Structure 1
Amino acid sequence: MKFLHLPFAALLGLALTACNSGPTAEPPVASQTPATQAPAAAKVTSKRLLFFGNSLTAGYGVEPEQAFPALIGDKIDSLKLGYEVINAGLSGETTAGGRSRVGWILRQPVDVFVLELGGNDGLRGLPLTATRANLQGIIDTVRRRSPKAQIVLAGMQIPPNLGQAYARDFKAVYQEIATKNKLVLIPFLLEGVGGDRKLNQPDGIHPTPTGHRIVARTVWAVLQPVLK
């Protein structure tokens, strides 16, 4: 197993086009050398698992190896499941930003795509119609670029600061999207962690290393059957 964490600076540069709320055209896919001309050593033998999300995936405030995608990678390595794990988390990312950069991220096909976005939309009170459309746009792009990929959607919840109705409808978006697209759903990424001061950093949003270990267990319970 090989774990890759895309540098923050590189992701930030890619996300500069994400300032607009609408979708942008995908960059053209670079032409590939025919397989007959590629050296044998260049052949990819492992599958690719990509985590695509915001600061929760990126591991804001903790060391890269303490973030839940790296912990999942350690588990995969110990079980010799043969996946290359890629962390494409970007702090501050919204669903609109993710929709803008997902085409670039998927220049190479993936086998499993974990989608963790929407939390920043909810905290900013963005219209749920836009969040729903952006998540659908990301899913459509994944299926266009990697038709055989299994997509896992990480559900998110927000506190009722913006009203009970908004918080309820926000939570429901993930179940709706998962049902519509027949996705594997993690009901709530921060189950057992969200709202617990001991498991979160002083901002009350981002998990501590201990919190990330709990998140990793939550994710692994859903992801393990997908990887077998």
Structure 2
Amino acid sequence: MKILLAGDSTVAACPSYEYPMSGWGAHLAPETYWWAAVHNFAKGGATTESFREEGLWYQLLNQTVKGDLVLIQFGHNDQKREHLAARTGYDGNLRRMAAEVRAKGGVPVLCTSVERRHFSNGRLDTTLGEYPAVVRELGAELELDVLDLNQWTRALYQEMGEEGSKELFFHFAPGEHAHWAGGLEDNTHFHVKGAQRIAAFVAGELESLGYGLAATVNAGVRV
């Protein structure tokens, strides 16, 4: 069994010069290596549309065989494109992706987008509109498992608080990072610490859904 990842920068492995910025997909393999290989196709800036147009989706499908898991997480960049609104282009693209994975014998697993860290007056903002709700609804309609990363990350940030949650994200003062010499306060992209926390949650959820070692014995049973 393989796990193949489709997504944006919050999932992707970042270039070495950006370290310690990281997407959670870069840390899923150490969490799951004992039962599945992880192939991360996620790319910074990707939408459900550009991921297909740039050929990344076809590369992923070409490597998908019966019983493989395909985790799909988009939304951050779709949100910036009017024609990829949650209940129109985005919804349609996710439906097509799920159908194509199933046609290959793979198992599509939808992921709601991780939340951004935006606090106002001490309260965490909701930044992704209807995108997480659409993923949940599609999962129920198409009988797909959903990893609700939006709900989980929101709870995590709120538990850690406005100050404490900073350590999960990419914050550097001027002079602390060679690539961002002027400093950076990024509340979308994760520090490796945050990416590792999310990867551990994803691995645990896959196990609880029955996609662990036992699934490799009878691959494809959940298609």
Report the TM-score, using the length of structure 2 for normalisation: 0.67
Give the whole-Å Cα distance in 1 for the aligned partners of 2:112 and 2:77.
13
Q: Report the equivalent of 1:179.
A: 140
Paired AA for residue 131 in structure 2? F
Q: 1:76 to 1:85 in 2, by over 3 A?
A: same
Which is bigger in relative contact order (C-alpha 8 A, separation at least 6)? Answer: 2
Give the whole-Å Cα distance in 2 for the aligned partners of 1:167 and 1:88.
23
Corresponding position: 1:121 with 2:74: no
Q: Structure 1, residues 184-208: CA drift from partner, whole Å, max 9, x if none?
A: 1111256125973221112210010
Give the whole-Å Cα distance in 1 for the aligned partners of 2:77 and 2:42.
13
Give the whole-Å Cα distance in 2 for the aligned partners of 1:118 and 1:141.
19
1:74 to 6, 17, 30: 30
Q: Does the 8 Å contact 1:193/1:214 carry over to 2?
A: no
Give the whole-Å Cα distance in 2 for the aligned partners of 1:119 and 1:153.
15
Give the whole-Å Cα distance in 2 for the aligned partners of 1:193 and 1:62.
22
Q: Structure 1, residues 136-195: CA drift from partner, whole Å, max 9, x if none?
A: 111122122x22x222111125679xxx99944222111011111211111125612597
Give the whole-Å Cα distance in 1 for the aligned partners of 2:30 and 2:141.
32
Q: Report the equivalent of 1:208.
A: 191
* Identical positions, percent: 22
Pairwise CA RMSD? 3.0
Q: Report the equivalent of 1:137.
A: 96
Q: What are the ranges of 5 or more consecutive residues in structure 1 without an aligned counterpart? A: 1-46
Q: What are the ranges of 5 or more consecutive residues in structure 2 without an aligned counterpart? A: 120-124, 171-184, 214-223
Corresponding position: 1:105 with 2:60: yes
Q: Report the equivalent of 2:216.
A: none
Give the whole-Å Cα distance in 1 for the aligned partners of 2:27 and 2:127.
33
Q: 1:167 to 1:87 in 2, by over 3 A?
A: closer
1:222 to 202, 205, 221: 205
Corresponding residue pairs, total: 174
